[in-house]
Chain A
Amino acid sequence: MPSARSERRPLPIPFWRRARRIFLLATIACLVPAGISWMGAMSQAHNVGLGVSSVEWLRQNGGGPIVTQIENWYYTLTAPSKGGPALSALPQVGVASSEGGGGKTAKAYRPPKVVPLIHPALPGEGVWKKAAAGAGPRPPVLVTTFRSDPEYPQFVAGVAWIDSARTELAYVPGLAEPPPPLAHRGSGEVPEGKRGRLVATFNGGFPLETSNAGLIYRGKVVEAMVDGVATVVEYRDGRIDIVKWESGASAPANVWFAKQNLPPIINNGKLNPNLSDGPEWGETVNNAVRVWRSGIGIDSRGNLLYAAANYQTVESLAKILQRAGAVRALELDINEDWTSFISYRHPGAVQPSNLLPEMFRPAERYLTPDERDFFALYLRPGQKW
């Protein structure tokens, strides 16, 4: 006779329902350590939104290829169409000559006007203007805008020219980039004591993790240098250069800082013939994808040129820098969240102003701690504003 227990035997759970339960439990088990890691990252100081910080956390924790793929899809789907109505005016950048400070109109070198690509040219297109209101006859920073691509007549590129004889460039580590450990990290912002001489700040390169590149900071190797990679170098005597690095993995004795980022986009005045995609371009969106891009170059006189614009490919960015006079150049950071060039209208970091009005980050960006590393331009000691 069967027992009462065996008569009450429960119905077996279907296999698929059990499998689903196992997957659900495994998912929850996976989310616990991931959540702890994410919350730890989010609890640190940030000056970007939660979404951007979360993407950065994903990128730093093995999700770089996922982020890159999603970015590629997104930017390809939202790519701008060619043509469209022509612009009637360019955004106002810099200060008009009448706003400039007094001083004698001494003969000082000025870079030649950037020849417009689209005709008829708009008022002020390619004409250099002072970035600072009180700058004398020899402004340390000049800025201009021009339409950079005849096929996309609504795109405006912003370019800054930096007088290397009057300024000194400093590499400033961010709070999270370069990643720890790093001696003399600082507070991730322009130091208070140096703001009196501050003329401009601009974004750095890709994070070290994604750029396949090296870094020398204060004469010491933070990340092994890579030969063949484009490098912004400051020598101990204060000279700045942009070179294709060929000095090996260690730090030469005369180098103060060297920041590498991807292969050169312009070398010896010519565009890199391989501006298409390849592993040498790092773990990032495809070179042909149109996003905010920025780059830095050097002209034949040793003055720096910075360029940034939305909807640029690597090739179109290189053409902007070449048109502005760069003979060697490299790409810096990309995407709207990381692209910034800020000039300061008055001494003491007063009245900061973005190079282009549509730049996403606020003009006060580098006066508060920032995650990413950046460059600061100061007037050389003894130079007058």
Chain B
Amino acid sequence: MRRLPREITPGAAARRTLLADCLIALVLALAAIALAAGIGVVGFAALLVLLVLVLWIAVEAGVRRVLRRRRRSAPPVRRRGRRAQVEDETGLDPLREEPTADQPR
């Protein structure tokens, strides 16, 4: 028996996951069709679920777009490094070594 290769590209890994998800979805759909009272019930319920999922995805995409736009339009924040913060707090430059008594100045 040939084993699936472990070292694969990210794209191949994503495709492998998608295939697994498709198979799980197919099994779920077949179970729903077999257990439901009729295909009408399956269609009606599927339409409702589809509506909810599409709304969810749309809202999520909308929120993401708004956040991205806001981030782009906001003024750039000047980031101060740790060194500057320590210098502010202590008045000393943390990277600069203070000369010891035995060291020549």
Binding site for B on A (CB under 8 A): 3, 5-6, 8-10, 13, 18, 20-31, 33-35, 37-38, 57-63, 65-66
Contacts and interface: CB of A to CB of B under 8 A. Distances in A.
Contact of B28 (A26, A62, A63, A65): A26
Contacts of B7: 3, 5-6
* Interface core residue of B8, B21, B39 (most chain A CB under 10 Å): B39
A62 B39 contact: yes
A242 to B, nearest CB: 33
A15 to B, nearest CB: 12
Contacts of B25: 22-26, 28-29
Contacts of B26: 25-26, 29
Contacts of A10: 10, 13-14
Given A22-B28, A62-B41, 18 more contacts: A3-B7, A5-B9, A9-B10, A10-B10, A24-B50, A26-B28, A27-B29, A28-B25, A28-B46, A29-B28, A34-B46, A37-B43, A59-B40, A60-B38, A62-B38, A62-B40, A63-B38, A66-B44
A57 B42 CA distance: 12
Nearest to B18: A21
A8 B9 contact: yes
14 contacts: A9-B10, A10-B14, A20-B53, A20-B56, A21-B18, A21-B21, A22-B24, A23-B49, A26-B26, A27-B53, A30-B32, A33-B39, A34-B43, A62-B36
B61 to A, nearest CB: 13
Contacts of B42: 30, 33-34
B17 interface: yes
- Which secondary structure dominates chain B's binding surface? helix
Nearest to A33: B39
Interface string B44-77: 1111011001001100000000000000000000
Given A8-B10, A9-B10, A26 B29 contact: yes
A265 to B, nearest CB: 29
B50 A35 contact: no
Contact of A23 (B8, B38, B43, B53): B53
Contacts of B45: 30
A38 B39 CA distance: 9
B101 interface: no
Contact of B50 (A5, A8, A31): A31
Contacts of B38: 60-63
Contact of A22 (B8, B21, B56): B21
B8 to A, nearest CB: 8
B4 interface: no
Contacts of A35: 43
For A5, A25, A60, the residue with the greatest tally of chain B CB atoms inside 10 Å of its CB is: A25
Contacts of A3: 7
B1 interface: no
Contacts of B32: 26, 30
Given A8-B9, A34-B39, A25 B22 contact: yes
Contacts of A27: 29, 46, 49-50, 53
B37 interface: yes
B19 to A, nearest CB: 11
B41 A25 contact: no
Contacts of B29: 26-27, 29-30
B47 A31 contact: yes
B22 A61 contact: no
A62 B9 CA distance: 47
Interface centre among A21, A28, A38, A60 (most CB of B within 10 A): A21
A334 to B, nearest CB: 20
Contact of A38 (B14, B24, B43): B43
Contact of A58 (B18, B33, B44, B46): B44
- What 10 A-B pairs are tightest by C-beta distance, nearest first? A62-B38, A34-B43, A61-B40, A62-B37, A25-B25, A29-B29, A10-B10, A30-B46, A61-B38, A26-B25
